[in-house]
Amino acid sequence: MILRRFASPLLLLLALPILLSLSGCNSLKEIAILPAAGTELLTAVGQTAQFTAYGQSEMGNAQPTTANITTSVAWSVTNPSVATINPTTGLATAVGNGYTEVIAQSNGIVATSDLTVEVAASGSGGTSTPSITITPASATETFVGETTQFLANGSLTGGTSQNLTNVVQWISSNVQVATIGANTGLATATGGGTTTITAQSGGVNASVTLTVAVSGTSGTPTLTIIPNAGATATFAGETTQFIALGSLNGSAITSNLTSNVVWSSSDVAVATIDQSGLSVAVAANTSIAESTTITAIGTTSTGSLITATATLTVEPGNGTVNLPELAIYETGTATGTVTSSPGNIDCGVATGSCSGTYPLSTLPSGPVVTLTATPATGAIFGGWSSNCTLVAGNPLQCTIQMRNNETVGAIFNP
């Protein structure tokens, strides 16, 4: 399946280095800021967020180029009682509750993003020291695929204790023993052993131990990449989300390994890729198509390396603007169905893929799509890829915001 991704004006990323010419003048045409509007939330006074500016310049009749100009623009905020920002580095610091616009400007060109600060109010029953407590304090699982829901409670500001489960970031120290939803606290056993489960936010953290006691020998480790048929981009800055799935310990359970592998691009002049699996097209608007090999490398439970590859092709642009497309890949060794709301996605019980398009809504950051998984008889649902946010209280559902084309994996295990 070939995926064509939708360009957002706020997602200008590094392209080819700017070439100097003796016969032309390099002129700044546009500025874009990351994080984009509506995406940055701080929850504690003193917490920071780094904003980055990218400038698109054009020299004579040459193709436009994009570069990081963070330290070359003037940074400011509209509401310094909410957050301040370093005028030369773009580092914002939370001051108090509220909303502020973040502004970057240079040579009369202005770009904006925004920042929201939501600090829990302190009061009676609170403590003066920020803290997190995890429940249960320890847990034991007895088979691969068994899940444990961890909860985080406390205060990131020293105020009244509250439920922080979906606010903190969850980490498993050993994904070959258990994985955990980064924003949900739902841990899933992947193999025998012990792992440390940590909840953290803004320097405040807590940890507990999860033990998985299973018997039997492991099979062959597996690793696959989706989109597994490769992907296509048509302009510089276009993004493609690659997802790694499989089992590093050889169990029959497929897990999301996107954040647990090392990503690389064989030709960074064609496209780059970061360690979350997000690639960015660099070569574009040329007369011929160029390709790069995207590689994911994982370390198995025996210490050996396992790899998987896919191809990303950057083709000459044709000026066509495509609607954002959501592609669903059903993976694992069992089957099920995936449906969407809104939209027309209805993946059947056969393992495979399907997709739907979503026109941009009045929301500044795109429409939100809810996906629902239904395991077939005798199957269990193994979870969503990490870029789809789990719906609280319903692990069979997740939501994804269609800012650009998106890829989501749905795992069905026996």
CATH code where residue 394 lies: 2.60.40
**225, 302: one domain:** yes
Whether 1 has a pLDDT exceeding 50, the answer reads no
Do the domain assignments include residue 16? no
pLDDT digit string, tens, across residues 209-229: 998 876 544 568 889 888 877
User: What confidence score (pLDDT) does residue 259 get?
Assistant: 80
Do the domain assignments include residue 122? no
Q: Which of 268, 295, 321 marks a domain boundary?
A: 321
Do the domain assignments include residue 125? no
pLDDT band at 7 (very low <50, low <70, confident <90, very high): very low
pLDDT digit string, tens, across residues 50-94: 998 888 877 666 666 777 899 999 999 998 888 999 999 999 988
**222, 316: one domain:** yes
Give mean pLDDT, residues 328-339: 83
**316, 328: one domain:** no
Q: Which of 212, 245, 275 marks a domain boundary?
A: 212
Q: Which of 158, 186, 212 marks a domain boundary?
A: 212
Whole-angstrom Cα distance, residue 91 to residue 87? 8
Residue 2 CB neighbours (<10 A): 10
**41, 53: one domain:** yes
User: What confidence score (pLDDT) does residue 125 get?
Assistant: 45
Do the domain assignments include residue 386? yes
**333, 408: one domain:** yes
Concatenating the DSSP letter of every residue in 278-296 gives EEEE-S-S-SS-EEEEEEE
User: CA-CA distances (angstroms) from residue 311 to 2, 13, 262, 317, 318?
Assistant: 10, 20, 16, 18, 21
**251, 272: one domain:** yes
Whether 110 has a pLDDT exceeding 80, the answer reads yes
Do the domain assignments include residue 268? yes
Number of structural domains, the chain?
A: 4
CATH code where residue 179 lies: 2.60.40.60
**99, 36: one domain:** yes
- Identify which of 167, 112, 118 has the alpha carbon closest to the alpha carbon of residue 364: 112
Task: Report yes or no: 1 and 226 within 8 Å, Cβ to Cβ.
Answer: no
**37, 109: one domain:** yes
Do the domain assignments include residue 20? no
Question: Domain range holding 138?
Answer: 131-212
**224, 186: one domain:** no
Task: Report yes or no: 100 and 79 within 8 Å, Cβ to Cβ.
Answer: yes
Do the domain assignments include residue 2? no
CATH code where residue 302 lies: 2.60.40.10
Tokens of 35: 């994080």
Whether 11 has a pLDDT exceeding 70, the answer reads no
Give mean pLDDT, residues 163-176: 84
Task: Report yes or no: 65 and 17 within 8 Å, Cβ to Cβ.
Answer: yes
